[in-house]
Structure formats: C-alpha cells, structure tokens
Chains A and B, each alone.
Chain A
Amino acid sequence: MRSMSVSHPTTHELLSQKGFRLKEWLIERMLVAAGITSIAIILLIFLFLFKEGVQFFKTASPFDLIGKTVFDPYEERHVFKMMWQAVSVLPKYSLIPLICGSLLVALPATIIAAVFGIGCAIYLSEMASAQLREFLKPTLELLAGIPSVVIGFFMLTLAASFFQGIFHTKFRLNAFVGAVGVAIATFPIIVTLVEDALRAVPRDLRDASYALGATKWQTIWDTVVPTAISGISAAMILGFGRALGETMIVVMATGKAPIVTGNIFSSVRTMTANIAAELGSVAQGSEHYYALFLVGSVLFTMTFVLNLTSEIILTKMRRKLRM
C-alpha cells in the first residue's frame, strides 16, 4: 500500500498537499501575528507605565523623589528626610530607600550566583564527563523550575533563622537572606548562559593551547575563559536584571523596612516588594498610585537597559567568534 502511493501520486494526494500548503500559509501568518503582537504588547506596557508614572509630577515635584524637608516634633526643627511613607499626613515618596534596597539585594545575589554559577558552568562544559552532564543538566533545569514563592517560603521559615544563628544579626529577615534566595533563582540562568558562552569557544583554540603544552587548568583559565569573557559578563548582567526584578522572594524574606542603608544585614524594601505590597489597594488616580507607577517605570528602565547591554555584548561576541 505504502509503496504504491509513493510511486503513483494520485490527484487526490496532490489536492490534499495543496490544502496542506494553505494551512502552512495560515500558520505562518499566525506566527507572524503572534510575533508582532508580543512586540506591540511590550510597547504598550512601556507607554502605559510611563504615561501613568509621569502623572505623579502633576501634584509633586521631582525633588520629592529624593527627599522632603519636614518638621520633626522631637528635635523641634525642620529635618531633611529620605523616606518612603506613602500613607501619612504628609506623604513621603523618596525613591532612595527603595533603590538602595533593590541594589542591596540584587548586587550580592548576582555575585553569589556568579561565583557558583561560573564555577558550575566551567565544570559542566570543560570537565564533566558526558554521563555526568546528562545527569547534572536536567537537575539544574529542575532548580530553574522551582517557583519563587517556594524559595521565598524556604528562606522565610528555615534559612532566615539559620543565618541569624550564624551571623547574630539584628534583623532576622534582611537583605542578605533575600539575596541568597534571589541567588538560588538566578543561579540556573547564569549557569546556562555561561555554559553557552564557553561552548561557543571554538575547539581549535583549545587544541592549539594543548599543542603548546598547556595543562587543562591553563587552557581553561588563559584561553577559554578570556575568549568567552564577554559572554560571561553578559550572563552576569542578565542575571542582575533578573535579580532586580525578582519579587516574591524579596517580599517574603527581606522584612520590607524602607531604610537607607549600606548594611547587608539590615532589613530593606526593594522597588518590586514595594509595588507588590502597596499597589493592591491604593486608590486609582491618587498621588500614591502614580508614585507606584513611577517606581515601576524606574525599575523597568533599569532592567531594560541591562537586558539591552547584555544583548549588545552577546551580539558582538558572536560576530567576533565567527571571524
């Protein structure tokens, strides 16, 4: 039966093939439409966010985003305060404590994730045997699949007490606990991206290095890593962007106190946690509502610039390695 139909294509089959092509054409258009829609959606979100955020300046001055001079009833004089306290007789919308909090979580998280992630990626791409790789890669993907709320819950209940026992910190929930949680979420991303960058280094370079008598360690450290360095830095930047945008873990593990501080063991309130905590019940169209959109715009701009930078670095690296 099968051999017959192969040797004699009937008109019926030709027709159905034509029908198939029509389907193909339709699917192609649908995919194009899906692509365009996603770009349009991003643009619209961008516009909406900024349109709402800008309206904050209808009632407040840009300096309010840094701080406000208010009367202190105890010191009986006016004091300049950098404070986020939106529900107040005199609302204060300083972004400084929020940006401070976001950086204090995202920077250490990226550093922790990068130290472990780059090591892990080097091991996976350069040293691990094929069998071990087969086992380790899916395990890593499993780690990427853990919902962030689960990580947050784990940090909140178990890890926070553990770290307080070690460091004897004042705050049980603090930026460091949040950073460790965010690092767990960022780690798989960094490993995957760094491993891609390392594997993109041509075989020839490694062979040349070995031919010159270099050891495995020398080859990795002096040839492979320097060649892939732009890919590695792009991975770190992407990881940093992801860490900045992480919400659930920081909502649960950082205590959310809007303090201006550089102390990693202090409780902090990140931009994301602030929006998540307050947007739910703020009156639409109020100053507070617009202020939260402004925080969102700042956050979006930061992650957008980070993603763009890493994309540019990656494109440059790919071009270089191809030549």
Chain B
Amino acid sequence: MKKSFVKMWIVIAVSSLGLIPFAWAQEKNITVKGSDTIVILGQRLAEEYMKLHPETAIQVTGGGSGVGIAALINGTTDIANASRPIKSSEIAKAKQAGYYPEEFKVALDSLAVVVNSVNPIQALSLKQLLGIYTGRINNWKEVGGSDQPILRYCRESNSGTYAFFKEHVLKNQDYAPDCQSMPGTSAVANALSKDEAGIGYGGAAYFINQPQLKIVPIKKDDKSEPVNPVKPDGTLDYEAAWNFLYPITRYLYMYTGFKPRGEIKNYLDWILSPDGQKIVEEVGYVPLKGK
C-alpha cells in the first residue's frame, strides 16, 4: 500500500516536470509564420542558420499564407512566409497598423502535373487542366488519351498548393466535388503510382525519378509548345522556371513588417546568399536566378 503511494507520487512529480516551460529566453528570437508550402523549407533554413549562429533562436510555424500575413499585421511574427504575393488590401491594413511590409522573393516553385506512367497522354494545355479539375472533362479520350474516366487527385484545402492551383489554373472556380483530397504531395505520388486513370499535381521535386509516374508537359495555350518542368536527365529545369516558360511556376515569398534590421536582416541576407539558396535547392525548390 505504502509503496504504491510512493510510486504514485513519483509518477505525479515526474509528470509535472513536463509542465515546466522549456522555452528559455534566448538573446535573439525570430518568429516565422505562414504558408504551409514553405514550412519545411523554412524549418530547414532555420536549422542551418541556427547551426551557424547558436545564439539565435528561430521558430517556424505554418497556418497558411493569409495567416502569416495577418500575424505580421498584428505584430505577432517577425517574418511572414507566403506562397503568393501580398494583396493590396493587406498592405493597406498593415499601413493602418503602422507597418510597411517589405517583400523578399526567396525561391521559385514549379508545380508539376502528374499521371501514371502507363497513361499515353503527351501534353496538356492550361485550358484542358481547367476543364479536368472543374469537372467539365471526364474522360481521358477527350484530351487525346485512352478511353477511361479521369480520376482527380488534389490536396487538402489548407494547403498552399491547393490555393495556388485553384487561383492560377482553375481561375478561382471550384474544384469538381469528386476530387480526392490527399494529405500531402507524397500521398498524391503514391496514389498515382497505383491509379492508371489518375491525375494529380504537386511540387515537381516529389515526382522526379519515380518510374511509375509521368510528369506531363504543360502548354500555356493551344498554340504554344509544351514545357516540362523537369529536364530529361531528371533534374528540375531551372531555366524554364526562371523565365516562367513553364506556366505553373510561382515565387515563394518572405515578408517583414519593416525594413529588416539586426538579426532578421542577417537571416534574410543569408537565405538570399549562395549558402541559403543551396538549402532551397536541397529541399527541392528552384533557387533564384544568379544566386
């Protein structure tokens, strides 16, 4: 009886240790919040930077581009990540709150459209993609493929990729209701490797060197040449992204509330330096031109 009481107290004592906040105040704290697309990139950048500068603590969280910019306006974050440019309405709000957002383009991202490797389709135009994803085109033979129904895969609505695709390819129309939403780009790749009639999209780096998948070259309109986001040797085609020849390419941004100073400036400078851009490349995005 007594022994078990002692044990109980030990358990209580040990578990209450967990309640002690472990976030000790550090000299230099940078908070980064925003787009879920950039969360992994942001965390990798922060990790590397903290290795070089142990006195700096950088916290990176997601939530979405809009959430990040709202946090910037509320003053609850130092840097906002965004996979889309800031809206004029958001700039106006920021100015009312006394902030002057500064924009930093940190990387480029090409969204690849992917099908199963047995699919004979050679290229798709943006218009055909719009038709497929809004539910107007329902059979592969309508776009030059074999006679079988199209199975649409998309991402969850909280994903920046979902929003970017919706804005740039769907022209803000609704996705067809039978789009199956996948929790991540690797889940899309996994599903498409099994589904011969499937179509999906995601960051191009996820689909490279997978023999069961085929990245579909995209045509800007019916007359233009199809462009592949990936070179024949299986690496990302940086030129196609830099010149926006590949039509589903976007910048990834970081915003600060003021002209950056001190440690925040050092951090952003480092991201834009060759060292930082090397991390961008490692994570699977396209580094900025000339960096």
Interface residues of A (CB under 8 A from B): 20, 23, 73-74, 83-89, 92, 97, 161, 170-173, 251, 255-260, 266-267, 269, 277-278, 280-283
Contacts and interface: CB of A to CB of B under 8 A. Distances in A.
Given A74-B136, A87-B163, A281 B177 contact: no
The 5 closest A-B pairs by CB, nearest first: A255-B180, A87-B157, A281-B158, A257-B180, A256-B181
B178 interface: yes
B47 interface: no
Contacts of A161: 194
Interface centre among B1, B156, B172 (most CB of A within 10 A): B156
A277 B173 contact: no
A320 B67 CA distance: 59
A283 B174 contact: no
Contacts of A260: 177
A46 to B, nearest CB: 27
A92 B173 contact: no
A281 B162 contact: no
Majority secondary structure of chain B interface residues (helix, strand, loop or mixed): loop
B34 to A, nearest CB: 11
A173 B153 CA distance: 11
B85 interface: no
Contacts of B1: 20, 23
A256 B180 contact: yes
B200 to A, nearest CB: 12
A172 B191 CA distance: 9
Interface in B61-85: 62-64, 66-67, 70
B148 to A, nearest CB: 9
Contacts of A73: 173
B64 A278 contact: no
A161 B190 CA distance: 12
B179 interface: yes
A251 B195 CA distance: 18
Contacts of B172: 88-89
A281 B174 contact: no
A260 B195 CA distance: 23
B128 to A, nearest CB: 14
Interface in B128-169: 134, 136, 149, 151, 156-158, 162-163, 166
A251 B67 CA distance: 25
Contacts of A171: 151, 180
B109 interface: no
B149 A170 contact: yes
B180 A283 contact: no
A283 to B, nearest CB: 6
Contacts of B194: 161, 172
B175 A85 contact: yes
B156 A278 contact: yes
Contacts of B156: 277-278
B183 interface: yes
Given A277-B181, A281-B158, A83 B67 contact: no
A257 B162 contact: no
A144 to B, nearest CB: 26
Contacts of A266: 178
Contact of A283 (B64, B136, B166, B181): B64
Contacts of A83: 174, 177
A216 B255 CA distance: 78
